[in-house]
């Protein structure tokens, strides 16, 4: 690449002065610059000021639209105008910084150049990023021959999974944004970055709990993709400093779906073919989880997270049941899920001392029966020889570098919400030290546990009931999780639908392709009009990323998944 190739000059006008935050320069009308490209401007003391291209406009010397119409023989589109108009492009750029920390507006007629790779990295702040985690690549001058650059984009893991900042929000239209694929790319990048870090760098350890809520998307993370372009994909991973291999230490958990015979593993409630589930079980990679009434009734409130309860009657019933479990001989003490339903039935024909009406018990029973009947995982009795387990017991044993995939795609939404809330609670308790004495593994509790979930709008939308226990749990993690070592990677189609305290506490934001209605919402005020317009035209595998260590939003792309994806 040629150094100091002049591409234009700064134009400081009375009506449009240069400032310490922006400037405008004119350039050749055929120069194929693009938004997000980085340019440099000659400044005082032999310094350079760097700017990110925001908007590109074209003008001519025509005084009005009418003059262009007249110059073409009063609107004859078949002729060429006898006099060619003088035309040029002018570019608005956002100032990113100066290589000598000089914060003065650039001067009129200052030459503008292409920036070199090292200068781009410095302008965007890449050179100061510590504890690097690659989040993708950004392209510069992609439409200019002999100038195109592909630059890996690093994030500081301390601002992605703590302790400096934490939580990731990924948004975009379903399918086109490839949200779960990007989340898994970051998971792989994090595992390898933390694994390669030296002990004195304070990397700690990390583990992941991934909830699969759609189809079979995430049920083969440890298998190599059979995509016909897999060799190209492997090469791209190697160029980013990542191993061209799927994930390791992956464990799959499927909801119990009923017995198929004595001494045999039961059915799994999953879209994955039974033969594939059996293969994973045989290889020691999968188990079937259940929920037992005696131990899991403490989370019964999670089943009612979306029930409208303005009078708090459902909450009162739940409190009554939970308090009773601590009292020997209480008539509300349960041993099985069937007993729980029977106890609630008995209250439907009378009013108890606490003043809970018969109508409230009937409402509670209707919902309870529907929820318990919607999943066969609410069944008592666990046979470890049939590869059955209690999900909480498995979460307690999570180790550094583990990836737990919990499949709830085939379950009803109430069950999906219950499992998500259950996972969050158990992980928070684990990191708070409540289960230290109960762990059987000798491995330490991971310093950071990342929970990955799609369809966040189902659990923490702006329309969720304020007293929803799942919403409260999500808020607790996003507001306190950073200091406790619990991190949330959440994805949804429309960011504007998510509770603002959730998105507001996410240090990293990845915006995928969306529509014009969505980008008009206030949730996107940090992006300018050009960036919003580009967001509506992003390709699959492209995102606009914001992070505290980056000096400006950056358009990135990431390679296809290295793991197998079922169609």
- For the stretch 123-169, pLDDT in tens is 999 988 888 999 999 999 998 888 899 999 999 999 999 888 899 99
DSSP code at position 330: -
**Dihedral pair phi/psi, residue 450, rounded to 5°:** -105, 125
Burial class for 353, CB neighbours closer than 10 Å (0-12, 13-18, 19+)? exposed
Domains and CATH numbers, the chain: 6-124 (no CATH), 154-290+383-557 (3.40.50.300), 294-373 (no CATH)
Higher pLDDT, 329 or 380: 380
pLDDT at residue 347 in the model: 81
At residue 473, what are phi and psi to the nearest 5 degrees? -65, -45
How many Cα neighbours within 13 Å face the side chain of 541?
Answer: 9
| DSSP conformation class of 1 | -
**DSSP per residue, 94-109:** EEEEETT---SPPPTT
Mean pLDDT of 212-220: 92
Residue 8 has which token pair? 């234009």
Respond yes or no on whether the N-terminal peptide bond of residue 138 is cis (omega within 30° of 0). no
Alpha carbon distance 440, 420 (integer Å): 24
Residue 353: is its pLDDT beyond 80?
no
Contact present, 155 and 508 (Cβ < 8 Å): yes
CA distances from 54 to 25, 29, 95, 147 (A): 12, 16, 10, 19
Which tokens hold the place of 502?
């959730």
pLDDT digit string (tens) for 460-470?
988 888 888 89
- Tell me what pLDDT residue 275 has: 92
Max CA pair span of the chain: 101
pTM: 0.90
| Angle, helix 358-373 to helix 313-324, in steps of 10 degrees | 70
pLDDT of residue 1: 41
Q: Which two tokens stand for residue 305?
A: 């997270």
Q: How confident is the model at residue 200 (pLDDT cuts 50, 70, 90)?
A: very low
Tell me the chain's radius of gyration from C-alpha atoms.
29
């Amino acid at each position: 690449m040629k150094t100091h190739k002049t591409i234009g000059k700064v134009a400081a006008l009375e009506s449009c002065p240069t400032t310490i935050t922006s400037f405008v320069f004119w350039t050749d009308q055929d120069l194929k610059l693009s938004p997000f490209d980085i340019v440099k401007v000659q400044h005082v003391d032999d310094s350079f000021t760097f700017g990110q291209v925001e908007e590109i406009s074209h003008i001519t010397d025509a005084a009005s639209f009418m003059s262009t119409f007249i110059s073409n023989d009063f609107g004859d589109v078949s002729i060429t105008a006898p006099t060619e108009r003088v035309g040029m492009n002018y570019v608005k750029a956002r100032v990113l910084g100066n290589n000598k920390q000089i914060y003065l507006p650039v001067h009129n007629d200052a030459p503008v150049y292409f920036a070199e790779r090292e200068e781009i990295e410095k302008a965007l702040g890449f050179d100061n990023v510590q504890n690097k985690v690659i989040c993708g690549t950004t392209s510069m001058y992609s439409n200019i021959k002999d100038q195109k650059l592909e630059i890996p984009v690093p994030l500081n893991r301390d601002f992605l999974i703590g302790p400096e900042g934490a939580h990731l929000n990924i948004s975009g239209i379903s399918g086109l944004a490839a949200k779960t694929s990007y989340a898994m790319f970051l998971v792989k990048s994090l595992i390898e970055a933390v694994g390669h870090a030296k002990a004195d760098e304070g990397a700690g350890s990390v583990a992941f709990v991934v909830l699969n809520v759609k189809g079979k998307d995430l049920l083969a993370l440890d298998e190599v993709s059979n995509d016909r372009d897999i060799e190209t994909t492997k090469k791209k991973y190697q160029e980013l400093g990542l191993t061209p291999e799927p994930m390791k230490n992956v464990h799959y958990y499927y909801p119990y779906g009923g017995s198929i015979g004595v001494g045999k593993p039961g059915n799994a409630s999953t879209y994955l073919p039974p033969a594939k589930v059996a293969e994973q079980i045989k290889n020691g990679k999968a188990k079937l989880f259940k929920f037992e009434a005696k131990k899991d009734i403490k989370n019964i409130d999670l089943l009612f997270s979306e029930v409208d309860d303005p009078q708090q009657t459902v909450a009162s019933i739940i409190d009554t049941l939970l308090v009773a479990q601590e009292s020997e001989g209480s008539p509300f003490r349960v041993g099985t899920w069937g007993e729980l339903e029977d106890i609630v039935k008995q209250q439907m024909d009378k009013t108890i001392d606490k003043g809970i009406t018969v109508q409230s018990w009937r409402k509670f029973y209707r919902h309870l029966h529907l929820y318990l009947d919607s999943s066969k995982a609410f069944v008592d009795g666990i046979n470890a020889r049939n590869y059955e387990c209690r999900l909480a017991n498995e979460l307690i044993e999570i180790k550094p570098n583990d990836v737990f995939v919990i499949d709830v795609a085939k379950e009803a939404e109430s069950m999906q919400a219950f499992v998500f809330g259950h996972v969050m609670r158990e992980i928070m308790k684990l990191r708070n030290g409540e289960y230290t004495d109960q762990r059987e593994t000798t491995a330490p509790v991971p310093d950071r546990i990342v929970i990955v979930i799609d369809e966040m709008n189902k659990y923490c939308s702006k329309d969720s009931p304020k007293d929803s226990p799942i919403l409260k749990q999500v808020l607790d993690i996003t507001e306190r999780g950073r200091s406790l070592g619990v991190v949330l990677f959440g994805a949804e189609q429309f960011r504007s639908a998510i509770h603002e305290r959730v998105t507001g506490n996410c240090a990293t934001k990845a915006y995928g392709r969306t529509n014009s209605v969505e980008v008009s919402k206030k949730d996107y005020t940090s992006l300018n009009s050009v960036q919003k317009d580009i967001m509506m035209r992003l390709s699959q595998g492209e995102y606009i990323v914001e992070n505290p260590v980056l000096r400006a939003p950056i358009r990135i792309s990431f390679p296809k998944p290295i793991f197998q994806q079922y169609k």
